[in-house]
Every structure is written in C-alpha cells, then in structure tokens.
Structure 1
Amino acid sequence: MTRSRSRKLLSRILWLDPDAGNAPESAPIAADSAVDPVPDIPTYRDRSLQPTPPREFRESSLPASTRVRSRLLPNEPPVVRTPDLYTEHFGLKVRPFALTPDPEFLYWPPSHQRAYTMLEYGVRAHSPITLITGEVGAGKTTLLLHLVRSLGSELRVGLVSNPHGSRAELLRWVLHALEQPAEIEESYVDLFSRFQNFLLSEYAAGRSVVLIFDEAQNLSAEALEELRMFININSGKDEVLQLVLIGQPELRDLVSRPEMRQFAQRVAASYHLGAMDLKTLRGYIPHRLRVAGCERRIFTAPAITMIYEQTKGVPRLVNQLCDLAMVYAFTRGRQLVTPAILQQVLDDGVFFPASAPRQTSETT
C-alpha cells in the first residue's frame, strides 16, 4: 500500500476527508510564520535506538501489515496488525510519542533529575522508606524502570505493581515479586516466616532486598502499617529490607495523616514530581523526535504552546496529543504540525484534555 493510499484510507477512518479517493485534496494549511528556535538540550545518556522489525515481518506477503497468530487461540485465523503509518512519512525509525513507559526516551529536565537523584539516593543509602509521588503520567514509572536497570547484583529487587488486598494477600504479592512460593492455603504466620528467612538468607549472601511498590496510592493505611512492620525485621545498623513507594499525590496525603506519623518518620527520602512547564515542554518534544531519528523541526512553536495549554504539561497527555497530531498531519501530507492541525484533533473529540495538576515539586 502506497503512502498516498494509506493517507486516504486513514483520512476516511478519521472523517477528515469523507470523499477520499474522489474529491481533490483540501487546500494546504499555512505553516506558522513565527517560530522560535528550540534549544538543543542533550539527553542524560546516549542510548541506541530500538532495532528495526525482523526481516520476515518487513517482507510479509502483506506489505502494509503484519500477520500475527494468537498464542492462546492457535486455530484462529491470523490477526492483521497495522504498522505505524506516519513513521516513514516523517523520516522516523520508531514512534516518538508512544504511551508506554520507555527509558530510552527519558528526558532529564531539572525536576526529573531531582526526582531520580532522591530515588537513587534512597536506594543507595539504604533508606528504610523512599517515597516518590507525582500526577498521573508524570513519568514516575519511567524513572523507576531506569533505576531498576542501573541496580547491581548486590541488591535483590522485587517489583509489586498495583498492590491491594488484605495483610496476607499483600504478603503473597511480596513473596511472588521475590520469586518465593506463597500457597493460598498457607497461614499468615507461615508466609511471614518464609519472608523473614528469605531476607536473612539474602543478607547472609551479601545482598539487601529492595521492595518497590508501583501505584502505591492503592494501598490502605492498614497496608502501609503492615509494610512498616516489615521494616522492623532490620536489626542493628544494617538494613536487610528497603521499601520504595511510587504513587499518585493521594499517597503523599495518606502518609501525611497524623495517625501515620510512625510510618512517615521512616521515610528518609521523598520527592513530588510535578508536570512540565512550557520551557521544559519546548525541549521535551524535540528530544523525543531526535531519539526517534528525526533532527528537523516537526512541531511549530505556536503548536507547542497550544499542546501545553491542552495538556498542562503532563508527559503522558503530551505524548497522546502529539501522536494524534502527527497522524492527522500525515493524512494531510503535511511535514509540520501547526495549531490548525491540533485544532482539528480537538474538534474531532479524539483527545480529552486534562484538568490542571499540581505544578509544585517537593523534596525531603
């Protein structure tokens, strides 16, 4: 399928050109005349780009799609998965604004540098509890994944995502994260005994254990108190267990309650990650494009300002709106994303603006 046919097909799907294939292409959208230069902000570390798809996928009998057979339903007909439509159009190697956390695209404005410094400090300094909070989509999980990559063999890491449940269920989450058995018929005493013996065996082997709870705002006050009791396994000057809690602002509010003062006193490092300001966003968007393989400007300065107004600087929302804008620009054959294209995205109702998040960053 040629790029021209792809644009017309996607235009019909998006209702941008209901008479695609018959009616002439709409008049060009004028690019914004006043464009501020974007500073060349370096990345924190040079990383290689993601590899291109394997040859057998790129040379499929369907040149504009990939056939993928379900593992769960081997007798079902192949599923046709459409590739990224606009990457070739813009000269990109990968999509620059995917919504899934990817440390390869990590951008390091001052707020993220401070958040990561506190996160790494908490782990390296053997802090009993490290607390990192931030708005939805602020980049907390991406920082967490970058941290996990950097940790050495002297640490045993257990990652618990979206924890919830009773005391015994919480302990089962922990044991599973540490690749330890936790049968449903076992009592809490049995589970805790296994957990304690595991911590002591790791300590004897010269390793400390780091338990990371992502989406920790889902933990109740009772669950947090249970985690504090886990810390009491530590004895003497050596910490055999550390807790890292990553969550939304509600987690910080919960820990700040008067009845949680015993837990709060064990928090040795914490940081609240706010949304990006406009200056940071002007560096963030071209940074992700560079990592994806494009050095030229795609978003005009007025378009970036409009993106900030609609997303309030939340990275995940920025990615979503930028991705949609590039799809719309592709369907029109444009090489620049302008406010007019963004307005079409908004008018079509495919993007849902967010309410204003907290902008402040706090460190303790």
Structure 2
Amino acid sequence: MYQQYFGLSEAPFSIAPDPRYLFLSDKHREALAHLIYGVGDQGGFVVLTGEVGTGKTTICRCLLQQVPDNADIAFIINPRQSINQLLQSIFNDLHIDYDRGMTSKDLVDELNHYLLEAHADGRNTILIIDEAQNLSVDVLEQLRLLTNLETNEKKLLQLVLLGQPELNDMLAKSELRQLAQRVTARYHLSPLSKPEVIQYIEHRLSVAGCRSELFPSTAINKIYQLSKGVPRLINLICDRTLLGVYSTNNDQASAKIVANAAKEIFPAQQGFNWKPIWLSLVLAAVIVSVSVFLKDYRPVESSLEQGVQAPDANGSIIRSSQEG
C-alpha cells in the first residue's frame, strides 16, 4: 500500500524469512559460521538457539543457499511427531520410497541403506529440524541413534537443531547426556543492540530501494525500546509505522507514530489499567489491619468479662466483678 508512496520496490519489513534481507550482524555471521561448520564432514549435531523472532530460521534458509551441490537436505518444520512420522517426513524430503505400513525399525534400516549409497556416490545428507524444543525426549534419543549410522571415516548423517532457549534445557537432561556429547557446534543468537537496530533498518530499506531517511534517530530509539532488539518485532513495528506515516501524509516517522503503531500491534501491552490492582492491595491491607486489631482486642474483652483486678490500700488484689 505504501511502497509507491515511499518509492520502494517492495515491502521492506515482511516477516517472511527472505535471505535477501538477512542482516549479518556479528552475531548472525557467527551463527551462520557455526551452521556451515556443522554441516561439514565431521557429522554429529549442531545446535542453534535464540528467542522467538531473533532470526534463526532466516539464517538457516541462508545456509541452504550456501550448501554444496552434493548435499541432500531434509528440512523438518513440524517436530511434533512420533519417531515413525518423523522418519516418514525425512523420507518425503529426501524422495525415498517407503511403505506407510513400515515400522520404525524398517524405516531406520531403509534410511541406513540410503545413506550408505549416498556416501558411495559422494553425497552428504543433512537433516535440519526447526522448533526443535518441541521434540520429545524419546524422539531426540532416536535422533541420536541415527548418528550411529557411519563408516570408518565419517558420520553418514549431519543434524542441525534450531530452537528456542528451552532446547538447551532439554539437552542438559541426564537422559540426553549422550546426545549432548555429540554436539559439535553450539550457538545462542541474542537480540540486536541499538547500533545494530539502526543498521538493520537501513539495510532492509536499502534492499527495498529506499533512497531517503524514513526513520530519524528519535523514531529508531523508540523502535529499539519497544522491540528490545528482536528483528521480528522490529519488522512488525516498522511496517505499521510506515503505514502510519503514509496515512498521515508525512515524510518521516516520529516517535509518536511509532508508539501508535506499537499500540495497534500489541494492544494488550498498552494502556494497562493498574487501578484494580491498587484497589486489591488496599483492600488486602485493610483486611490484615482489621485481623491484627481483632486479635489484640479479644484478650482485653475477655479480661473485662472476668473482672478487673486492682490493688487495695494494703497492696492486696481486689477482684471487681461485673456480676451482681
């Protein structure tokens, strides 16, 4: 809608994992280097973790453009499967024929046969699993067993696991310690810093053909504050901000337009009403105070019912009763 208004060839802040828009910060370069290293000849597991929206899938798709021609890749995007279903998905991606009635053992035997033939033909086989934190412990253990498929020189299957930080917690479990020992490369992708946010926005605008400054420093500061440096959130905020700039017939974004854009994207996080919470806290304080007062008052009331003791002139205690 706003592309023509700003002279852009396409929408610069799409959340689709387009490798052309991959911004290679130092963190992203190192993450990509770990993946490239991991799909080499050493085999084993490569683990790339990061918070939601930090760019793991985009980096992986960039990796797919750099793998050699002799690599065959199975890319699993839905890991919530049984081991039998997962093996069938792998077979589908690798174009291996199989009978749907085959057991997991039959599928593993067939996969082993395929990998041996691929190795003999000089081909490498790579299995990439996205959202790997959703894999069950049993399936992860079965994946470890797949790395037992090897010759005297090398592993026949390389595995890349992409996931959220919870994946590291899973791999730290004692029952998966054998798998953790086979991780040959591991990297955690953190959000962008403020200088990197500036470069990120400029990079995406440049790829889309922008030749003017659409986001001044005040707007970028607001974007960084609201997105916490997470690329996916930056994309959402920037896209809605450009729509706001277009709809108000302005030339540049402002902190106010950015804030309004964020309210449209994250309505539940904006304008939070603290009044019910304060009322609850005040009511709780009143209840506690009344409870303490009553606790202290009852012994006094009991004393009055039993009569007040007071000394007479000689110092003896005289009991004054309220009874007749």
TM range (shorter): 0.7 to 0.9
Percentage identity across paired residues of the two chains: 37
Mapped partners of 2:268, 2:206: distance in 1: 27
Mapped partners of 1:227, 1:185: distance in 2: 21
Q: CA deviation at 1:160?
A: 1.1
Which residue number corresponds to residue 218 of structure 2?
302
Tell me: CA distance 1:202–1:148, structure 2 relative to 1, closer, same or farther (3 Å): same
1:177 to 76, 87, 93: 93
Mean CA deviation greater in 311-320 or 149-158: 149-158
TM-score (norm 1): 0.71
2:50 to 127, 130, 134: 134
Which residue number corresponds to residue 159 of structure 1?
75
Mapped partners of 1:182, 1:234: distance in 2: 22
Q: CA deviation at 1:172?
A: 1.2
1:342 to 238, 253, 258: 258
Q: CA deviation at 1:92?
A: 0.4
Q: Which amino acid aligns with 2:256?
A: A
Q: Which amino acid aligns with 1:137?
A: G
8 A contact 1:303–1:342 mirrored in 2:
yes
Mapped partners of 1:108, 1:90: distance in 2: 25
Which residue number corresponds to residue 276 of structure 2?
none
Which residue number corresponds to residue 220 of structure 1?
136
Tell me: CA distance 1:353–1:198, structure 2 relative to 1, closer, same or farther (3 Å): farther
Mapped partners of 1:177, 1:162: distance in 2: 13
Which residue number corresponds to residue 295 of structure 2?
none
Name the SS of the counterpart of 1:159 in structure 2: strand
Q: CA deviation at 1:301?
A: 0.5
8 A contact 1:159–1:212 mirrored in 2:
yes
Cα RMSD, aligned residues only: 1.6
The answer to whether 1:233 aligns with 2:161 is no
The answer to whether 1:266 aligns with 2:182 is yes
Q: Which amino acid aligns with 2:36?
A: E
Q: Which amino acid aligns with 1:268?
A: T
Name the SS of the counterpart of 2:65 in structure 1: helix
Q: Which amino acid aligns with 2:178?
A: Q
Tell me: CA distance 1:145–1:275, structure 2 relative to 1, closer, same or farther (3 Å): same
Mapped partners of 2:53, 2:99: distance in 1: 35
Mapped partners of 1:151, 1:306: distance in 2: 38
The answer to whether 1:117 aligns with 2:33 is yes
Name the SS of the counterpart of 1:296 in structure 2: coil
8 A contact 1:123–1:242 mirrored in 2:
yes
Mean CA deviation greater in 94-103 or 238-247: 238-247
8 A contact 1:307–1:321 mirrored in 2:
yes
Name the SS of the counterpart of 2:161 in structure 1: strand
Larger Rg: 2
Q: CA deviation at 1:104?
A: 0.4
Q: Which runs of 4+ in 1 moved over 6 A?
A: none
Q: CA deviation at 1:326?
A: 0.4
2:4 to 68, 73, 88: 88
Mapped partners of 1:351, 1:154: distance in 2: 48
1:60-75 map, 5 Å: none
Name the SS of the counterpart of 1:124 in structure 2: coil
Which residue number corresponds to residue 234 of structure 2?
318
Mapped partners of 2:139, 2:264: distance in 1: 44
Q: CA deviation at 1:207?
A: 0.8
Mapped partners of 2:111, 2:146: distance in 1: 9
Q: CA deviation at 1:277?
A: 1.2
Aligned residues: 270
8 A contact 1:93–1:292 mirrored in 2:
yes
1:256 to 172, 189, 195: 172
Tell me: CA distance 1:348–1:233, structure 2 relative to 1, closer, same or farther (3 Å): closer
Which residue number corresponds to residue 315 of structure 2?
none
